[in-house]
Amino acid sequence: MNTLSQHAKRMAAQGMLLLLLVLTTIGFSGRAFSAEAGNDRYYTDAQLAQMLAPIALYPDSLLTHVLIASTYPLEVVEAQRWRKQHQEWSSNRLTSEGAKQGWDPSVVALLAFPNILDKMSQDLNWISDLGEAFVADEGRVMDSIQDLRQAAYDADSLQNVSQIQAKRENDRIIIVPADPQVIWVPYYDPRVVYGTWRWSAYPPFYWDPFPGYVVAPHSLFYWHNGGVHISFNFFFSTFRWHERTVWVDYRHNHYRYVPYRHSISSGGQRWIHRPEHRRGAHYRHESLQQRYEPSYRRDNNRYQQVQHSLQNRPQPRDNTKMKHPQDYRQHGLTRDNRTHNNVRPTDAKKWNTINHGHSSKR
């Protein structure tokens, strides 16, 4: 019964988080983006640049995790609250225990980066827009990231940065950690780092500096004293820039940055959105609703039916507390009529009363 109680509590918590997500999205719908009627593009280039500006200069692997996790906003909020309850744990323990919570691996990986989780959880409109833009057209999102990186490169903002390396590869700007086993999360002012902003009507989203961050000498980047040392399966996703896709490899443990060539040869596959990890959070755009929600509802209904049958199945007989004939008579039953009594196996409370002599606590 403890397992059922924990499951019920978790389902109730997810329901509250889903309600919070819906209400917040509705309450700030004026800032939400929408596609023009008859336009296949969900967001304009200006809108994409605006929402990507705070994260486009993150190391590639970290950025893929943020993009994938943004498609599952409810799990991000749930993970952020769970992390606050265990903030004294190490990154390794957080990710190890977090992997048991049923979240997508991208969400689990972000448990080691509390500042990112906090920002994603605080702005539900931003994470919802970012996630839907990525699901709708990951190629355009990647193109926008490259445009922003090129702007930062042209403004000399990527020079003299010791914690990350920005290099060109086939006309694409790749950003990798300077130390393959340490991930530094940069903070920067997107109103400055990209030089002259192209879209005056869509200024870049600005975040307040992360707590404890200080600006590096002769640089526009802020850093915390010490990066995140990778000792867990972090490098499982990567950009394939020339194909404008993201690839994942969930079967291998990678503790160092893995270029896409190696990840593909080791058994990686193109990332596929998994709507079951949205936990019932609806899509804003109708075409995404039509594409993903019917299959989610079908799979979720099957899941709920299984859970219902498991919760209402008869409890196994405890031989250590075997009933004697007088115990059956106590409940108005005899050996002859107890099987014909109006006590159904699906009535868990009565069933447990007969078999165990007391009511089960839920």
pLDDT tens per residue, range 246-277: 998 776 555 444 554 444 445 678 999 999 99
Question: Is residue 288 domain-resident?
Answer: no
Whether residues 48 and 176 fall in one domain: yes
Whether residues 316 and 278 fall in one domain: no
Instruction: Out of 3-12, 143-152, 158-167, give the one with best mean pLDDT.
Output: 143-152
Among 266, 283, 300, the domain-final residue is 283
Domain count, the chain: 2
pLDDT reported for residue 81? 96
Whether residues 204 and 145 fall in one domain: yes
Contact residues for 36 (Cβ-Cβ < 8 A; gap 6+): none
Task: Inform me whether the pLDDT recorded for 44 exceeds 60.
Answer: yes
Task: Inform me whether the pLDDT recorded for 93 exceeds 50.
Answer: yes
Question: Is residue 16 domain-resident?
Answer: no
Confidence of residue 20 (pLDDT cuts 50, 70, 90): low
Mean per-residue pLDDT for 43-64?
96
pLDDT reported for residue 45? 96
Question: Is residue 335 domain-resident?
Answer: yes
Among 231, 266, 283, the domain-final residue is 283
Q: Which residue has the higher pLDDT, 10 or 224?
A: 224
Mean per-residue pLDDT for 347-352?
36
Question: Is residue 217 domain-resident?
Answer: yes
Among 268, 283, 298, the domain-final residue is 283
Indicate the DSSP class of residue 362: -
SS3 string of 160-183? CCCCEEEEEECCEEEEEECCCCEE
**What sign has the CA pseudo-torsion 230, 234, 235, 241?**
negative
Whether residues 351 and 242 fall in one domain: no
Whether residues 158 and 238 fall in one domain: yes
Q: What percent of the chain has pLDDT over 70?
A: 64
Q: What angle do CA 145, 148, 153 make, to 5 degrees?
A: 125
Return d(Cα 229, Cα 112) in angstroms, integer.
Answer: 9
Whether residues 252 and 330 fall in one domain: no
Confidence of residue 147 (pLDDT cuts 50, 70, 90): very high
pLDDT reported for residue 325? 41
pLDDT reported for residue 218? 80
206: helix, coil or strand?
A: coil
* Phi, then psi, of 101 in degrees rounded to 5: -90, -5
Whether residues 160 and 71 fall in one domain: yes
pLDDT reported for residue 331? 41
Whether residues 350 and 205 fall in one domain: no
Confidence of residue 354 (pLDDT cuts 50, 70, 90): very low
Q: Mind listing the pLDDT tens digit for each residue in 317-346?
A: 544 443 444 443 444 433 344 343 333 333
Question: Is residue 293 domain-resident?
Answer: no
Whether residues 129 and 171 fall in one domain: yes
Whether residues 127 and 194 fall in one domain: yes
Whether residues 223 and 334 fall in one domain: no
Return d(Cα 203, Cα 271) in angstroms, integer.
Answer: 30
Whether residues 157 and 215 fall in one domain: yes
Question: Is residue 35 domain-resident?
Answer: no
Question: Is residue 17 domain-resident?
Answer: no
Question: Is residue 12 domain-resident?
Answer: no
Provide the residue range defining the domain that includes 327: 312-356
Q: Mind listing the pLDDT tens digit for each residue in 205-222?
A: 999 999 989 888 888 999
Q: What percent of the chain has pLDDT over 90?
A: 45
